[in-house]
């Protein structure tokens, strides 16, 4: 948790870090990814048979190697909007017998050459947990196919397709953005809440080890209030136990962007307020429904987040964003939010992991790490363990925000800060100086010894890695912790030292 005192721009900023104040454990799942059958994410992204860069499975080795650097704990699949009309059965069995189908979310053709077994094998190679998003109607057979241990039809079909042992897929989302007018089978909140609860029962009867994620909206909508109220109920044996609820997590999504730097980098603060509101809605549902205190409190699954302007990078054209330094700093602010709110966030999935609104791009000949790769890399490498107490005093940006409502509910400080204490005994402090023109000098109380410094910045906020050279990366240096540290304009700085 980071507390804040607003100063005038004439006063000197101050940061203080309190490693002994451990606030909450950071769930490693905040560094989860997302791969959808959309654009070039699967085909030409993670799966590219015949390319000399691919292995015998058709998996791009350069993509796997790069993603391993991010130490991704879980990957959501196969959508997204794609999930609305997908039937998993089309994507299993001998490849030459799989049907090609019209694809209605992004208006292409789905060959089904890549499906459940390929994705789960890819996850095993990457060393990550699969997180499946289901649609109602096809879900029970899919769970049985993936996790069934008995002598039953779909478990046997999996064995026939070459996989003897169950995959034990743990995370399952109960639909995706079912509130959205773009969805096939868009639902009212009443219809969704009823269906989700009934399907959750059936799924947990089939496999009680599943972790089920309710489909929320953006965390600030009446949809979120209603679905939580209807579905967070006292546990009923044998569907759930007195401690384990039927619904384990509530999903929310947010994409932000602005062509202007300061609205762009302050936009992710909408995610912070959305998490706070959702957290209160979870409590409210528990209070109103009389959920006993011993029953585990669901967490928030922020399973789509990123910088995305869907007009600039249209979904049906593959949503290939070309990210700037400003976008990288916005991603750093999102990650600061997830660290500050670690008590509530059980998982967060950057949307998406390859090519589609992604930090990692492929061509036939190799990969490019976009600007947004670098904050993700630094956070995933260092910002783990415990969220610890931090205090920031500095001036604030006072202009317009996007969404507009951020201005009326949040401070937007020049220095956006989060801090962690790792299990290795190191303190890590992430500081985003969002100012476009001013370096900001600040003491960092609590910093001690030799400080390792990692900086992400460039000459200007429009710098990009998509013009044939890497304009944005990480530079490493040290600081002796004496006096004040000069946080460069438009930069992310990660300070790291051994706790005393």
Interface contacts to ligand AHR, rule CB under 6 A: 36, 79-81, 176-177, 304, 351-352
The distance of closest approach from Cβ of residue 106 to ligand AHR in the complex, given in angstroms and rounded to an integer, is 8
The residue of the chain with the least Cβ separation from ligand AHR equals 80
Nearer to ligand AHR, 251 or 491 (CB): 251
CA 125/CA 408 separation, integer angstroms: 46
Nearer to ligand AHR, 131 or 397 (CB): 131
CA 455/CA 432 separation, integer angstroms: 10
The distance of closest approach from Cβ of residue 176 to ligand AHR in the complex, given in angstroms and rounded to an integer, is 5
**3-state SS, residue 284:** helix
The alpha carbon of 430 is separated from its chain's Cα centroid by a whole number of angstroms, namely 18
What are the start-end ranges of the E strands in 290-421?
299-307, 345-350, 360-363, 366-369, 386-394, 415-421
The distance of closest approach from Cβ of residue 365 to ligand AHR in the complex, given in angstroms and rounded to an integer, is 26
* DSSP strand pairing (101-103 vs 14-25): unpaired
Nearer to ligand AHR, 79 or 346 (CB): 79
Structure tokens at 422: 């790792």
CA 29/CA 52 separation, integer angstroms: 32
Of 110, 129, 177, 321, the active-site residue reads 177
The distance of closest approach from Cβ of residue 80 to ligand AHR in the complex, given in angstroms and rounded to an integer, is 3
Residue bearing tokens 């639909």: 175
The distance of closest approach from Cβ of residue 26 to ligand AHR in the complex, given in angstroms and rounded to an integer, is 24
- Give the dihedral sign, CA 217/342/377/121: negative
The distance of closest approach from Cβ of residue 137 to ligand AHR in the complex, given in angstroms and rounded to an integer, is 18
The distance of closest approach from Cβ of residue 352 to ligand AHR in the complex, given in angstroms and rounded to an integer, is 6
Residue bearing tokens 């039937």: 87
Of 36, 144, 304, 321, the active-site residue reads 304
The distance of closest approach from Cβ of residue 384 to ligand AHR in the complex, given in angstroms and rounded to an integer, is 25
* DSSP strand pairing (345-350 vs 360-363): unpaired
User: What is the number of H-type helices and E-type strands within the chain?
Assistant: 11, 22
CA distances from 153 to 106, 470, 475 (A): 32, 52, 55
Nearer to ligand AHR, 221 or 233 (CB): 221
CA 465/CA 321 separation, integer angstroms: 12
Nearer to ligand AHR, 251 or 278 (CB): 251
If you compute the radius of gyration of the chain from its CA atoms, what whole number of angstroms results? 23
Nearer to ligand AHR, 79 or 115 (CB): 79
Running DSSP on this structure, what letter comes out for residue 39?
T
Q: Does the annotation count 304 as an active-site position?
A: yes
Q: CB-side exposure of 331: number of CA atoms within 13 Å?
A: 31
Whether cis (ω within 30° of 0) applies to the bond prior to 78 is: yes
CA 159/CA 143 separation, integer angstroms: 14
Q: Does the annotation count 177 as an active-site position?
A: yes
- Short-list 134, 51, 29, CA closest to 86: 134
Nearer to ligand AHR, 224 or 416 (CB): 224
CA 327/CA 376 separation, integer angstroms: 12
Nearer to ligand AHR, 248 or 304 (CB): 304
Write out the catalytic residue numbers: 177, 304
């Amino acid at each position: 948790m980071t507390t804040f005192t607003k100063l005038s721009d004439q006063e000197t900023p101050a940061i203080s870090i309190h490693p002994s104040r451990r606030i909450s454990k950071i769930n490693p799942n905040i560094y989860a990814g997302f791969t959808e059958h959309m654009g070039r994410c699967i085909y030409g992204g993670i799966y590219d048979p015949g390319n000399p860069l691919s292995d015998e499975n058709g998996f791009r080795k350069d993509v796997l190697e790069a993603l391993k650097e991010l130490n991704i704990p879980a990957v959501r699949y196969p959508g997204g909007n794609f999930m609305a009309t997908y039937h998993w059965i089309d994507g299993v069995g001998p490849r030459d017998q799989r049907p090609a189908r019209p694809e209605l979310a992004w208006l292409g053709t789905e060959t089904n050459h890549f499906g459940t077994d390929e994705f789960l094998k890819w996850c095993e190679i990457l060393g990550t947990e699969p997180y499946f998003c289901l649609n109602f109607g096809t879900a029970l057979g899919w769970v049985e196919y993936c996790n069934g241990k008995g002598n039953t039809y779909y478990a046997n079909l999996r064995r026939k397709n070459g996989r003897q042992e169950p995959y034990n897929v743990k995370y399952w989302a109960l639909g995706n953005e079912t509130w959205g007018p773009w969805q096939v089978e868009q639902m009212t909140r009443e219809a969704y809440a009823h269906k989700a609860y009934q399907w959750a029962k059936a799924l947990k009867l089939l496999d009680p080890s599943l972790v089920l994620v309710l489909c929320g909206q953006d965390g600030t909508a009446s949809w979120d209030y209603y679905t939580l109220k209807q579905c967070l109920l006292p546990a009923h044996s044998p569907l759930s136990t007195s401690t384990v609820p039927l619904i384990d997590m509530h999903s929310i999504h947010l994409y932000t962007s602005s062509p202007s730097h300061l609205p762009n980098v302050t936009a992710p603060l909408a995610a912070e307020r959305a998490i706070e509101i959702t957290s209160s809605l979870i409590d409210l549902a528990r209070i109103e429904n009389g959920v006993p205190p011993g029953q585990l409190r669901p967490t928030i699954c922020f399973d789509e987040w990123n910088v995305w302007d869907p007009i600039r990078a249209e979904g049906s054209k593959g949503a290939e964003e070309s990210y700037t330094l400003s976008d990288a700093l916005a991603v750093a602010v999102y990650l600061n939010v997830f660290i500050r709110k670690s008590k509530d966030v059980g998982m967060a999935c950057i949307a998406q992991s390859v090519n589609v609104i992604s930090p990692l791009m492929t061509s036939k000949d190799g990969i490019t790490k976009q600007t947004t790769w670098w904050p993700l890399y630094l956070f995933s490498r260092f910002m783990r363990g415990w969220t610890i107490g931090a205090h920031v005093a500095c001036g604030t940006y006072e202009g317009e925000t996007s969404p507009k409502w951020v201005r009326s509910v949040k401070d937007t400080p020049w220095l956006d800060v989060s801090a962690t204490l790792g299990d290795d005994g190191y303190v890590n402090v992430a500081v985003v100086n969002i100012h476009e023109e001013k370096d900001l000098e600040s003491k960092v109380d609590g910093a001690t010894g030799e400080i390792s410094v990692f900086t992400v910045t460039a000459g200007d906020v429009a710098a990009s890695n998509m013009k044939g050279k890497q304009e944005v990366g990480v530079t490493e240096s040290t600081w002796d912790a004496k006096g004040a540290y000069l946080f460069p304009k438009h930069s992310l700085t990660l300070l790291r030292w051994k706790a005393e």
